[in-house]
Amino acid sequence: MYTHNQFTIVNYPELLDKQRPLPLFLVSAKTPGQERGRRLTMFSQDCPAGSSSARPAGAGRSSAAPCRAAARLPLARTPGRAGRDADAREPHPAGRSRLAAPGGPLLAPGPAVMPAVPDPARVAGAVARYLALREFRARLYRCLAARADALFELCDAILCADHAVTSLAQLSLVPAFRRGHGALYDALAAGQVDEEAFAALLTGTLPPLIDGEEGRAWAREHDKIDYGLLDQALAGVPAGQAAQVREACARWARLRFAVDATPYPRPDAECSPGRGHVHHDACRCDSTRKTIPGWEYQFVAALGHLRTAWAALVDAERTTPATRTAQTARQVKNLLRRLRAAGHDRGSAPLVIFDAGYSAAALTAALAGYHVHLLIRLPSGSVFYADPVTWPGKKGRPGKHGMPVTCHNDPGQANPEPDESLTLPDTPRYGTVRVDAWRGVHPLIHGDRGWFADWNGKLPVLRGTVLRVRVEHLPDGRTPHKTMWLWHAGPAPLSPDELWRAYLARFDEEHAFKFAKGTLGLTAAKVRTPAQADRWVRLVMAAFAQLLIARPLAADLRRPWETRPPAGRPLSPGRVRRGFANIRARLGTPAHVAKPTRPGPGRPKGTTSGPAPRHPVPNKTGTTDKPNTQSRRSKVKT
């Protein structure tokens, strides 16, 4: 809000087209007897001060003051009288309004018009978004159990920095961080984050917001189901079958989540415990497999129905290869519990998507009986079996497995006829798409290895659907060198069209990883202990969450060489972060101002700490840097 000597003006930048030069609205004027010399304060959206027209108390003169003073337009002028109206200065170069010489007419194509009164519903919506972001920040502050002020300001520094985060020490120079660089490192070393409260806050707040207005409009456009007619048709159907039909028809209301791991490389940190060999493209120590010493974090991200660069990171856990399946099952169970506590179950089971590398049989067995759909990419060569065919009077031992379905890369190799096929001709990105589904198949389980080595009782029969997805070409025009195979298991069968498109939406999480690492500095903090890395990762998740909530509030601050986003598409995370400092100025901060302190006494004279303990990375079993040439030669026939 900006109080002029004649008017009180409120700024709602999200209510107007960002290209219009009048983003300010008149709220109240003086009495009719005081209308003489009335002015309207206006400035362009392209002003370097952004869309902000106010600064916190004590912040000094606003940078937008020259723009406001330069773009004051008189609404009425007495002929032949200059008065104060004659003292008009040149406007800001970025503005779109131009004034004449003192006493002259306006150099505009038409008379000055008052902006239309904003829609009260849209104003109420904008105010509600600001209050929601402020409430989220207050609840986030309460999740910080120790060093809360420094941790919260460090999160604000990630958001308000005008550069990509590449160093922790550099963040201490951001004005949003009002402490020294020592407090920054102390916050990561001695701070505490209530991980359960933090994950519950993200899970309860972000999944309904990931689609946004653009995603919801896109879903309404593609949802062709008449739900009233559906309820009438299912009135006489048994309850179990009706529930399965409703579950299959809940495509556009279903929450979708992706689970994937990403490395936190620490190749040179010999004093950091808990490091292992994690997958990474920049190989440092192995010439056969792309691994690097470091930690690995597994994230759960909410996905929208509209393909964007947004993904809501709601949970993270540091994993190890030996316990990855158990940790993944625990993360999914915690996700379901938090969704149920927040009231986001919506009556339909959520869909959780996994990339290749996760055991389909182990996750299906670990999550059996839970109200959730699993969609997992299968490695080539996997084999599934249909139920055995039997008939009355058949002699011998009952069969356990029927016809096999093998995940071949060659589409010409034999397989049974699929139960369902879907052909989509001339899709924009993949050409002709063909999806084949074999329903009611099960994997072959071995009770002496892997997840089922300690299984108590009879081994289960895990039934689900195997899908084969073949496309004509990839988005860049290349011919795919592999056939994509997917496994689905859940409380009800889903359509092949929903499943293959849902798996493609998983790549939104990859875009989120790229932005979190390249811009927010997810792996930029060179900390020593895994606990410090855990706190840093959660601060980056909190910063990403605030960007998602602030997405409808941000102005499109484009560079001169950048184009505006297409119609019906939200702003990218980078552009929202570019204007977050203006939004934060209106929100304030729950963190307290740092108290003045004196340097401590330091280490007493004559004492030494000694060298830090070293933690070597364990060797990988069964692998060597160079193949055994002698053993290979001995196997060659002569």
Mean pLDDT across 527-548: 96
Count of Cβ atoms closer than 10 Å to residue 481 Cβ: 7
Query: Burial of 126 by CB count in 10 Å (0-12 exposed, 13-18 middle, 19+ buried)?
Result: middle
What is the pLDDT confidence band of residue 132, given thresholds at 50, 70 and 90?
very high
What is the rounded average pLDDT for all residues in the chain? 80
Is 183 among the domain residues? no
Is 346 among the domain residues? no
Q: Can you give the pLDDT at residue 289?
A: 62
**pLDDT tens across 18-34, in order?**
333 333 333 333 334 44
| 365 or 226: which leads in pLDDT | 365
Is 112 among the domain residues? yes
Task: Decide which of 65, 84, 118 is a domain's last residue.
Answer: 118
Domain interval for residue 85:
1-118
SS3 of 363-432: the string is HHHHCCCCCCEEEEECCCCCEEECCCCCCCCCCCCCCCCCCEEECCCCCCCCCCCCCEEEEEEEECCCEE
Say yes or no to pLDDT of 604 above 70. yes
Q: Can you give the pLDDT at residue 606?
A: 84
What is the pLDDT confidence band of residue 628, given thresholds at 50, 70 and 90?
very low
Task: Decide which of 90, 118, 146 is a domain's last residue.
Answer: 118
Mean pLDDT across 446-473: 89
Is 224 among the domain residues? no
| 161 or 64: which leads in pLDDT | 161
What DSSP state is assigned to residue 106? P
Specify the number of domains making up the chain: 2
Pairing of β 351-354 and β 256-265: parallel
Residue-wise DSSP of 5-20: SS-EEEE-GGGS-TT-
Is 328 among the domain residues? no
What is the pLDDT confidence band of residue 226, given thresholds at 50, 70 and 90?
confident
| Cα radius of gyration rounded to whole Å, the chain | 30
Rounded-to-integer distance, Cα 271 and Cα 288, Å: 26
Lowest mean pLDDT across 90-104, 251-265, 325-339, 564-578: 90-104
Q: Can you give the pLDDT at residue 290?
A: 79
pTM: predicted TM-score of the whole model, two decimal places: 0.78
Lowest mean pLDDT across 94-98, 346-350, 376-380, 611-615: 94-98
Rounded to a whole number of angstroms, the distance between the first and last alpha carbons of the chain is 89
Say yes or no to pLDDT of 312 above 90. yes
Is 79 among the domain residues? yes
Is 211 among the domain residues? no
Amino acid at 109: P
Counting Cα atoms < 13 Å in the Cβ hemisphere of 414 gives 2
Is 47 among the domain residues? yes
Q: Can you give the pLDDT at residue 258?
A: 96
**pLDDT tens across 563-590, in order?**
888 888 889 999 999 999 999 998 989 9
**pLDDT tens across 349-401, in order?**
999 999 988 999 999 999 999 999 999 999 988 999 998 887 787 777 777 88
Task: Decide which of 452, 473, 496 is a domain's last residue.
Answer: 496
SS3 of 208-223: the string is HHCCHHHHHHHHHHHC
